[in-house]
Amino acid sequence: MSPAQGPVLADSSQSARGNVADVTDPAAALARPGDPGWWRTGVVYQIYPRSFADSTGDGVGDLPGIIEHLDHLAGPDGLGVEAIWLSPIYPSPGLDGGYDVADYSAIDPLFGSMDDFDRLIKEAHRRGLRVLLDLVLNHTSDRHPWFEASRASRTGPEADWYIWRDPAGTHRSGRPIPPNNWLSFFGGSAWQWDEGRRQFYLHTFLAQQPDLNWREPFVQEAVFGMVRGWLRRGVDGFRLDVFNALLKSSDLASNPPGRRLARSPWQRQRHLHDKDQADLLPLLALFRSMVDEAPGRMTVGELFAGDIGQAVALTRPGHLVFDFELLGQPWSAASFRRTIAERERAFGEAWPTVVLSNHDQSRHVSRFLRTLGRQDQRTHDAVAKAAAVLLLTLRGTPFVYYGEEIGLPDIRVPNALAIDPPARRASWRFPWWNRDRCRSPMPWTGDPGAGFTTGRPWLPFSPDHVTRNVARQAEDSDSVLATYRRLLRLRAATPALHGGGLRLIPSPGEDVLAYERELDGGRAVVAINFGLRRFVWAPPPGSWKVALSTGPRAVGSPLGDTPRAPQLEPLEALIALEG
């Protein structure tokens, strides 16, 4: 299909060539929580299923384990989030943590059954929780039936479902030359020679993750049919993995040089032709037209190797985009002030996301402690609480990564023992951060299995799990968990915090970040001391009362308009409301 034809959306709700998840419990789709605009005011909690809770004792988290802990998220004493996002739960060889999908329309037996999934939807909706699935649409596993059929023949029905090309020539040694200079994000050429078809196929990531050809109408038909199947089961939305890479240039031109001295080979090219194509927007509009057939469904796209401007350009009502600028900042008031100002200018009236951690990056409490050069538990907890205030009071939809609510840190996993495939090949020529370090199992208790498993966990627990766990923190009114619970309730009850505009407030010192949120005359002010010494700080004119403080300040105490200006304690974060 040529770019001029544009993306094609099949009218059929079920593809003749793709399996679709059949609805076994139609009531599940009807029991969806209300409030179609929840995605602007709510908070999404990311679950990495392998690491959340294991119900079988095999050391790997699963769907029944998630169900057992839903009250932690939405019960009377739970966090109070509005949605959960599940990283991939589809059948997979597991070469990239489930992001190498072998069947889009089923549940990996590692995580349970389709009956377990239906029960998860039902139990989540009963608690007012929405459920978002991870959709990996740029590529599949090389064990997916689609790819197995595609590589079997150049003329079969699925021949063009992936991006195949003849070699550009032959080396003197007889080795075929790739069609262009495109690179894999995981290192090496993005082209893999297939001896059976005598052609190369494209893989932006692992060689075992061939890229789908989104310019082939039958691919769109099959994928959209699969998506409709999940929507009929009651799914409330999707996180779209590397969605800006779905379409490639039709002529497959080589990329021009990028930064010559960049750390990784990928960064030494300007990726003009292997992602961010102009016809992505029409494809996204077609996808959204299907998702929007029922109110309240949302999508969020992972922006792959992009910037704030691209994130804004791809943001739509009901469709958010991760820009990750905040995620890359050190623990520095100046850095966050600069980044927040840039984001506010760029997004304008558009609605951003707020993310400090995820399954691919170092957990933020570990990053921030490295900035401070401190590792003691008192500083650890203070930073985790202050970061929670930042995460949950900036303008946009916050995404909380599992374990953040107890200040879970990174773990140490030597690259030689890594499960993350690129980490095993990491070197000075191919720098790679081992993603295992941010995926450790959730510690629910201080028991030997941490309340996560009765067996051997698939990754080690955090070394401090005996003291840093949900049960221990639930009993402590001054814990990181208690702070998250209070903060989420305050956010939900304060329109200015979840829906208002944001104005940065000039700071009296380099370590203080302050901003005001306002909506319909309601005002809230947030101040965070990033430093290890006290600062005198005065709020804007008005009658302010403390609504939350991570320091010793009492809730309800006045702030401002007093003879003595308040002092921000080291690493204290506070929220004050007017009135």
3-state class of 137 per DSSP? coil
Separation of alpha carbons 489 and 524, rounded Å: 15
Separation of alpha carbons 365 and 368, rounded Å: 5
Total H helices, total E strands in the chain: 16, 21
Separation of alpha carbons 86 and 116, rounded Å: 14
Which residue, 526, 533, 488, is CA-closest to 509? 533
Q: Which amino acid is at 146?
A: W
Alpha-carbon 61 to chain mean position: 18
**Burial (0-12, 13-18, 19+ Cβ within 10 Å), 46:** buried
**Residues with Cβ within 8 Å of residue 557, at least 6 apart in sequence:** 545, 546
Active site (annotated) includes residue 325: no
Separation of alpha carbons 114 and 26, rounded Å: 14
Active site (annotated) includes residue 221: no
The answer to whether the Cα torsion of 487, 493, 499, 500 is positive or negative is negative
Q: How far is CA 491 from CA 365, 423, 553, in A?
A: 21, 38, 19
Angle at 163 between CA 160 and CA 166, to 5 degrees: 95
Q: Which of 62, 134, 142, 241 is catalytic?
A: 241
* CB contact at 8 A, 101 and 363: no
Separation of alpha carbons 90 and 102, rounded Å: 7
Q: Which of 22, 166, 293, 478 is catalytic?
A: 293
Separation of alpha carbons 199 and 153, rounded Å: 11
Query: Which residue stretches of 415-553 are H helix?
Result: 421-424, 470-474, 480-493, 495-499
DSSP state of 534: -
State phi, psi for 527 to the nearest 5 degrees: -135, 135
Angle at 193 between CA 188 and CA 196, to 5 degrees: 160
Residues belonging to the active site: 241, 293
